[in-house]
Amino acid sequence: MHLFGKKKTQPVATPIVATTSIPENHVSKKKKNTYTITFSTFFDATLFSMCKNTPLGVVSLNGQQIQNNSGWISCTEFPNPCATRMATIQHLLAEALGTKISTQIIEYLDKATGKPVVQLYPDSVHIFDGYEENYMSHLNHATRRDLEKQIALRERLINEFIAKQKQNQK
């Protein structure tokens, strides 16, 4: 049928192709460091619970392997109580969040100075001294969005795990 004496045409739909990878030339504006931690069965984190920091074995920093194959693990000190808690309940965190998230510490950096502002642990957050009142204002937009996204992801996974545990108890 023709409307107003003209032939009606249908627009041709162009397929939408989803990209699952980041382009090679992409430069992230997020200011953060991502530490991947390894846990030894011989390490008792509770020994450090009353200390200011707990040494944890860092396997990689921002995706780059930093440990050698000498058999010894270099450690980095992370603030308590978050670091001790992470090491102490690692088996539960791995079950609730998966291995990748349960072994990561994400450190968000000040947009002006590059100093650590906040560290995100699998189930907690540590805000560094001097940033307690307004830590979000020290992060750039991309970094703030990433922090909010990561917190929401962890909350969702933990809530799903708790709901699953309650269902199993019934």
Q: SS3 string of 125-169?
A: EEECCCCCCCHHHHCCHHHHHHHHHHHHHHHHHHHHHHHHHHHHH
- Give the chain's mean pLDDT: 85
CB 55 within 8 A of CB 77: yes
- Return the pLDDT at 22: 53
d(CA 122, CA 30): 19
pLDDT in tens, 110-135: 999 999 999 999 999 999 999 999 99
- Return the pLDDT at 42: 74
Amino acid letter, 4: F
pLDDT (mean) for 92-107: 95
Checking if the pLDDT of 78 tops 70, the result is yes
Which of 4-13, 90-99, 132-141, 144-153 is least confident? Answer: 4-13
Checking if the pLDDT of 18 tops 70, the result is no
pLDDT band at 9 (very low <50, low <70, confident <90, very high): very low
pLDDT band at 30 (very low <50, low <70, confident <90, very high): confident
- Return the pLDDT at 80: 95
Residue with token string 């045409």? 9
CB 82 within 8 A of CB 95: no
